Amino acid sequence: MSNLLEVEDLHICFSVLGQEVHALRGINFTLRKGEILGIAGESGCGKSVAAKAIMRLLPAHSSSVSQGKIFYNGQNLLKLSEAEMRSVRGKEIAMIFQDPMTSLNPTKTIGAQVMEGYCLHRPEIKKQEAKHYAIELLRQVGIPQPEERFLAYPHLFSGGMRQRAMIALAIASEPKILLADEPTTALDVTIQAQILDLLRKIAQENGTSIILITHDLSVIANMCDRVAIMYAGKIVEEAPVDVLFKTPRHPYTQGLLHSIPRLDTPRDHPLVPIEGRPPNLTKTFSGCAFCPRCSSALRICTANDPPYISCDTEHHVACWREHPQNPHNQG
């Protein structure tokens, strides 16, 4: 499989109230054609920032890309002019946002919003054609009576319906990549199952590659081919989904997996939470960002940032314990 998107050593800083927040501290990942890549992590770990950086949607006045490259189709997106970027954004790479309540324009009909992006990228298309296409899209994403709903405003839609409309907007231009940022977090379980089903269908039928960003590891297990786990602005572990859930190597990944109650966790079995909380990214720190919360930290962990270590060709982890020269690492 060839790489559709490559992110190399991306660093992003925000300046907040005169302080520098180092939101991304050098992340690397690739997205292959037709795959669903999951990016998981807790709030503030930088997963949404990464998605917005790919879309170039970060506010220019308060954020800066201090280093790094994002390659799509051989071109570095960070080097494109705003006009060039506009022909990629929405057309080649589209995004679904977390909160369907606030990310649709409340003053325009659903139909007009679905048509807007589509017409923008295809100026030659006739309005009547675009309307037919938009109605077809609404039908495709499972909105009942799309002809009537075309004229409805977002406030008349339920949360699940709005998220379907958002998906219709995003897939209107048949993008190659879909960035889904917590697409089901605001939704109820049965509606979540519907939306995940829809995304899976889109990936299979249109061959769209999806980056699914979520804090819920169960959603990842359900949907993804590969997973990257983020912590404090870095990817700490990356692996195919089966490998990650079967043999997690990073203590943070292990901690996350142990702290979710599973349906088969017996009731007298205490959950093992990760003590403490994520670090403050306004401060620079030496060593591994996770080591203050890590129960198996080595002395080097406080001093030096761990390198990326490959457990095998597909499984990479940023942890000193996995270093080949670590005497405790027998395998």
Partner 1 sequence: MSPVGENIPKILTIRGKSPEMQENALNNSDTILAKMPPLISVEELRVHYLSDKRSLKAVDGISFSLHEGKTLGLVGESGCGKSTTGKAVLQLEQPTGGKILFRGTDLALMSSKELFAFRRESQMIFQDPYASLNPRMTAGDIIAEPLDIHRLEKGSQRTTRIHELLQLVGLSPHLASRFPHEFSGGQRQRIGIARALAVRPRFIVCDEPISALDVSVQAQIINLLKSLQEEMGIAYLFITHDLRVVKYLSTEIAVMYLGHIVESAPTEELYKNPAHPYTQALLAAIPLPDPVQERKRNRIVLKDEVPSPYAPPPGCVFCTRCPFAQPICQTERPVMRQIASAHYAACHFA
Residues that bind partner 1 (CB under 8 A): 42-43, 144, 158, 160-161, 188-194, 196-197, 215-219, 221-222, 241-242, 245-246, 255-263, 265, 267-268, 270-275, 277
Residue found under tokens 């401060």:
283
Q: How far is the CB of 99 from partner 1 (least distance, A)?
A: 14
Q: How far is the CB of 224 from partner 1 (least distance, A)?
A: 8
Which one, 124 or 268, has the nearer CB to partner 1? 268
Which one, 191 or 300, has the nearer CB to partner 1? 191
Kindly tell me the number of DSSP H helices and DSSP E strands found in the chain: 11, 12
Which one, 112 or 221, has the nearer CB to partner 1? 221
Which one, 63 or 214, has the nearer CB to partner 1? 214
Q: Point out which residues pair with 12 in neighbouring strands.
A: 24, 65
Q: How far is the CB of 186 from partner 1 (least distance, A)?
A: 10
Q: How does 58-67 read in b/e, with b if 16+ C-beta sit within 10 Å?
A: beeeebebee
- Note every long-range contact of 202-208, with CB atoms under 8 Å and residues 24 or more positions apart, other chains counting: 202/167, 202/171, 202/178, 203/34, 203/36, 203/178, 206/171, 206/174, 207/33, 207/34, 208/34, 208/171, 208/174, 208/175, 208/176, 208/177, 208/178
Which one, 218 or 329, has the nearer CB to partner 1? 218
Q: How far is the CB of 257 from partner 1 (least distance, A)?
A: 6
First to last CA, the chain: 29
Q: How far is the CB of 264 from partner 1 (least distance, A)?
A: 9
Distance, CA of 267 to CA of 63 (rounded, Å)? 46
Q: How far is the CB of 291 from partner 1 (least distance, A)?
A: 15
Is 211 in contact with 39 (CB distance < 8 Å)? yes
**Token output for 228:** 């990257």
Which one, 71 or 245, has the nearer CB to partner 1? 245
